């Protein structure tokens, strides 16, 4: 069994919107995801976003929503303990799963992950929505570990989605239709923001609110791939909120719930964890 969060970690998550959890996930689960990453790099799903197909360098690659078709990812989601960590962090009595997201940056990848907020990309509303981002490689900030604007989950802002890898012709261009104000140019004015981030080890998790501003630099390492899996979690107060510009992987046509309802739809948002 992977570990539980301490009271200190839970307090940090609620206050800052993000917490770094060391040694969060056991090796056996990460090995399953490593194998899937190799497969997806060769043959992305229809939701893949590949900045430089086939290249060993300067390649930012993401793929997502594999849990329904891939047993390794399903095992990771159901058994590795991310749902429990998410529930404990959010103070929720239960967690349901939304989707998995693989995030790879090969050595010398210049593309940053742009500063963004997750909730506007997703057809959900509520405070108890978060991600558990698990490092599959040891990663420094220079090597593209994530950074966060501490406390920005409490600002009450709703930011328009930003395009990853700035490809307006990409299938992800649904994001261009999004709602909300533009994310400020945080890079141009870093001193004005309370930016926090951690060098991470394989198996560490970073748990963060869907409302916090976050991003990551490119991978400046000459030799090391940076890889991670982010899993997305829904707590007790989350409600279905389909809207223009939301991720099309799961839409109103797919679900058995109506707008404003708790996502009690086991086919699309399986129940993973309950508080004892």
Ligand X SMILES: O=C(O)CCC(=O)C(=O)O
Residues that bind ligand X (CB under 6 A): 101, 103, 113, 118, 131, 133, 146, 214, 216, 228, 230
**Residue 229: CB minimum distance to ligand X, A:** 9
95, HSE (Cβ side, Cα atoms, 13 Å): 29
User: Closer CB to ligand X, residue 96 or residue 116?
Assistant: 116
**Residue 208: CB minimum distance to ligand X, A:** 7
99, HSE (Cβ side, Cα atoms, 13 Å): 19
CA–CA dist 63, 178 (Å, integer): 20
CB 201 within 8 A of CB 145: no
**Residue 47: CB minimum distance to ligand X, A:** 14
CB 114 within 8 A of CB 215: yes
User: Closer CB to ligand X, residue 49 or residue 131?
Assistant: 131
**Residue 120: CB minimum distance to ligand X, A:** 12
Q: Which of the 8 DSSP states describes residue 219?
A: B
State the chain's maximal CA–CA distance in angstroms. Answer: 49
Sign of CA dihedral 225, 121, 42, 132: positive
**Residue 146: CB minimum distance to ligand X, A:** 6
**Residue 121: CB minimum distance to ligand X, A:** 9
In the chain, which ranges are E strands? Answer: 18-21, 49-50, 60-64, 94-105, 113-116, 124-125, 129-135, 147-149, 195-197, 205-209, 214-216, 226-234, 239-240, 271-274
């Amino acid at each position: 069994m992977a570990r539980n969060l301490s009271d200190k970690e839970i307090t940090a998550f609620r206050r800052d919107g993000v917490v770094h959890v060391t040694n969060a996930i056991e090796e056996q689960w990460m090995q399953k995801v490593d194998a899937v990453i190799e497969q997806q790099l060769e043959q992305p799903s229809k939701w893949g976003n590949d900045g430089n197909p086939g290249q060993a360098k300067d390649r930012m690659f993401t793929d997502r929503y594999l849990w329904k078709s891939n047993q390794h990812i399903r095992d990771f989601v159901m058994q590795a303990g991310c749902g429990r960590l998410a529930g404990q962090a959010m103070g929720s009595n239960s967690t349901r799963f939304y989707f998995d997201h693989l995030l790879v940056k090969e050595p010398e990848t210049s593309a940053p992950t742009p500063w963004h907020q997750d909730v506007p990309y997703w057809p959900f509303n509520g405070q108890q929505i978060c991600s558990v981002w698990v490092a599959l490689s040891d990663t420094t900030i220079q090597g593209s570990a994530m950074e966060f604007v501490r406390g920005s989950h409490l600002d009450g802002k709703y930011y328009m989605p930003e395009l990853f890898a700035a490809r307006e012709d990409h299938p992800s261009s649904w994001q261009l239709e999004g709602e909300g104000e533009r994310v400020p140019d945080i890079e141009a004015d870093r001193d004005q923001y309370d930016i926090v981030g951690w060098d991470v080890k394989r198996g560490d998790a970073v748990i963060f609110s869907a409302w916090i501003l976050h991003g990551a630099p490119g991978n400046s390492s000459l030799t090391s791939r940076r890889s991670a899996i982010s899993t997305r979690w829904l707590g007790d107060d989350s409600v279905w909120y389909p809207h223009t510009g939301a991720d099309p992987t799961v839409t109103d046509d797919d679900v058995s719930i109506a707008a404003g309802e708790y996502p009690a739809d086991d086919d699309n948002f399986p129940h993973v964890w309950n508080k004892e």
